[in-house]
Structure 1
C-alpha cells in the first residue's frame, strides 16, 4: 500500500499506463477480428451470389459443380507483383504519372536484354508504347508450367521477380531432351517467338518456386512495329537488323538447345545488338552495369 504522496502518484501512473495499454491491446484485437469477419462475410456473399445465379438460371448439376470447383481454385490464383489494376488510385493517376510509373516498373526488365535495353535510349516513346500496350504479366505457383513442347508461343518471356533483378536463386527450369537449364530473375526466354511467325515451344518450362513473368506478346509487338514503321522510326530499322542477325547467326548454346527457347547467351545478344546498331547507323547508349553469363546448367545426363 502506498505510504506517501510520491508512492501514490507512482501507483496511479502505473495503473493508468496499464489501463491504456490493455485498452489498446483489446482494441487492436477487436479491430482485427472485425476485419476478418468482414472478409469472411464478403467471401460468403460472393459464394451465395454465385450459387443463386446458377440456381436461378437452371444450370445443370454437372456444369454447376465445374463452375464451383473453378471458383474455389480461382480464390488461390496468384496476383502478379505489378497487378495495379486492382488499385483504384493507381488506375486513376494522371497519364503522365502512369507513364512514369510503368517506365520505372518495366524499364529495368528491358535493360537486361541488349536489344530492348537499347530501344530505351534509341526511341523512348517506342519503348514506352511497348510497355503500355504489348507487355502483360503472369505469376506462377511452384511446379506450375509456363509452357510445354509444341504449344504455340504467345510471346517472349522476361523473368522479373526482383525489382533490382539481382537474385541468383533459380525461378524456372527449362528442359529440352536430357538438358535442364536454370533461369533466374533478370533473364529471358523464347526470343524467337517475336522473330518468327507461328513459332512453337521446343521444350518445357516449369517454376521452381513462385515466379513473376512479363510477357511481350507477339501480335501486339508486330502491330507496334507496323505503326512505327509507317512513321519512319529508326527503332524499327534497328530491330529489323537485329532480327536478321538473330535468324542468320548460329546459336551460341550447345547443339541440343539450338533453335529452342534458349537461343543465345547474353554475350551473343550483346554482339548482335552492336552489329544491328552499326547497320542501322545509330548510336546506342550502353548501360554501366556489366553483363553476366545468362544461362546456368543445372543438369546434363
Structure 2
C-alpha cells in the first residue's frame, strides 16, 4: 500500500526530507569522488617519480643489481609512509616548547630503550635526564636490504639499537653471531663510554630501522646535573673494566651478559642512594649551623655588647678568614651551599674516568668524558 501525504503539513515534511536526502547523497558522492581523485593523483605522481628514477639510473649506467635494490627499498618506504604519519609532516610539532618536545621524544623512544638496564634506571630515577637523551642523542636511521651499518675497524662514535628489520653480525674472529641481533638489542654500546673501533660487521638482511645513539650528544645530555655525571661515571667504569678483562680476540660489539648488567645497575643504585643520603645529611647540618649563627647574632644584638667599631673589625676579620679558606679550598664555589655539597663537589670533575685498551691496537686509551658545564665531549 502506498503512503502519500494527506494534508499540507505532511507534504511540506516530505519535501524537506527529500531535499535533505538529495543534499546528503550529493555530499557523500562528492567526497568519494574527491578522495578517488587525490589517490589517483598521488599514484600518478608516484609512478612518475619511479619512471624518472629508472631513467636517471639508466642514463648513469647504474648496474641492474643496484637499481633493483634501490627500487625495492623506495617501494617499501612508500608503502610505509602511506601507513605511518611522518614527524616532518606534522607542522604543529615544530611549535612545541622544549619541555613538551623532550617529553614527546621520551614517550616515543623510551619503550625501545627500556630493555637496557641502565637506561631503565635513568627512566625511573631521573626522567628529566632520560628525556634529554631521547631528544638530543637519538636519531632514526633507515637501512635497505644488504646495507652495511658498520664495518670492522671503523672508528665508532655512536651506538645502535635495533627498532625493526633482520640483521646479521659477523665478528672479526668468531664469525656470524648466533642468535642474530634482535629488536631492542644494543650494538656497540661501548662506543658511548670509551674510544672504540667496531669489532665486527653489521649488515641488514631486509629493510629496517635502527636508532642511533650519538656518544657526544649522550655525554652532553648526561651533563645536565652532577648526579647523572657521577652515576654514568660509575657505570662506564664498570663497563670498561669488563671489556679490559676480555681477551682482545673476544671483544665484541654485542654484549649479552645479564649478570654484568644486573651487577652494574645495582652498584649504580647504591651509589645514587649514598649520594642522596650524603646530600640530606649535609643539608641538615648546614641548616643547623645557620640557625645557631642566627641565634648567636640575635642574642648579641639584644644584649647590646657589640659596638659599631667592634662589629666592623670583626666583620673585616671574618671576610679575611673566608678569603683564606677559599684560597686553600680545592672547590670552585666554596661559598655556595650547593658547591660544598656532595653533588656540587662533583661539578669540577670530568664526566667519566677510567682506562681501557684499544680493541684493535691494544694501545692504552681513556674513557670518554665531557665537561659538565661546557657540555662538550673530549678524550683524556
Q: Settle same-fold status: TM greater than 0.5.
A: yes
Counting only pairs closer than 5 Å after superposition, residues 287-298 of structure 1 correspond to structure 2 as none
| CA–CA separation in structure 2 for the residues paired with 1:282 and 1:116 | 20
Asked if the contact 1:251–1:258 (Cα under 8 Å) also holds between the matched residues in 2, the reply is no
CA distance in 2, matches of 1:76, 1:252: 47
User: How far apart are residue 129 of structure 1 and its match?
Assistant: 1.1
Match of 1:249 in 2: 242
Distance in 1 (alpha carbons) for counterparts of 2:209 and 2:274: 33
Give 2:213's match in structure 1, choosing from 199, 211, 216. Answer: 216
Do the aligned partners of 1:241 and 1:276 also contact (CA within 8 Å) in 2? yes
Residue number in structure 2 paired with 1:262: 254
Q: Write 1 or 2 for the structure with the bigger share of helix.
A: 2
Q: Is the 8 A contact 2:160 2:212 kept in 1?
A: yes
Q: Distance in 2 between matches of 1:97 and 1:36?
A: 38
Equivalent residues of 1:82, 1:137 under 8 A apart: no
Q: Superposed, which structure 2 residues align to 1:36-75 within 5 Å?
A: 36-37=40-41, 40-41=44-45, 65=60
SS of 1:209's partner is coil
Q: d(CA) in 2 for partners of 1:234 and 1:185? A: 31
Q: Deviations over 1:139-166 (max 9, x none)?
A: 22233222111222231111224xxxxx
* Residue of structure 1 aligned with 2:36, choices 26, 32, 40: 32
What CA distance in whole angstroms lies between the structure 2 residues aligned with 1:77 and 1:40? 17
Alpha carbons of 1:238 and 1:200: their partners in 2 closer, same or farther (altered >3 Å)? same
Question: How far 1:109 moved relative to its partner?
Answer: 2.2
Structure 1: segments with no counterpart, 5+ residues: 7-16, 49-60, 162-169, 285-301
What SS class does the counterpart of residue 218 from structure 2 fall into? helix
* Equivalent pair of 1:252/1:268 in contact (CA under 8 Å): no
Per-residue CA deviation, residues 92-146 of structure 1 (Å, 9 max, x unaligned), is 3454543332121111222211111111223222111111111111122233222
Shift of 1:25: 7.7
CA deviation profile, 1:172-221 (whole Å, cap 9, x unmatched)? 22111423231111211101111112x11111112233322111101212
CA contact (8 A) 1:158 1:188 kept: yes
Ranked by relative contact order (alpha carbons within 8 Å, sequence separation 6 or more), the top structure is 1
State the 1:39 CA deviation: 5.9
Give the 3 Å change call, closer, same or farther, for CA 87–267 of structure 1 in structure 2. Answer: farther
2:213 and 2:239 mapped to 1: Cα distance? Answer: 17
Contact 2:162/2:186 (8 A) holds in 1: yes
Deviates more, 1:257-266 or 1:22-31: 22-31
Q: Aligned match of 1:203 in 193, 200, 203?
A: 200
Q: Distance in 2 between matches of 1:259 and 1:93?
A: 43
Compute the displacement of 1:31 (Å). Answer: 3.0
Q: 1:247 to 1:259 in 2, by over 3 A?
A: same
Structure 1 Cα separation of the partners of residues 151 and 85 of structure 2:
25
Choose 1 or 2 for highest CA Rg: 2
Find the partner of 1:190 among 160, 177, 188. Answer: 188
> Where do 1:116-127 residues align within 5 Å?
116-127=119-130
Q: TM-score, normalised by structure 1?
A: 0.64
Which of residues 172, 179, 182 in structure 1 aligns to 2:167? 172
Conservation of the 8 A alpha-carbon contact between 1:102 and 1:131: yes
Conserved in 1, the CA contact under 8 Å of 2:102 and 2:132?
no
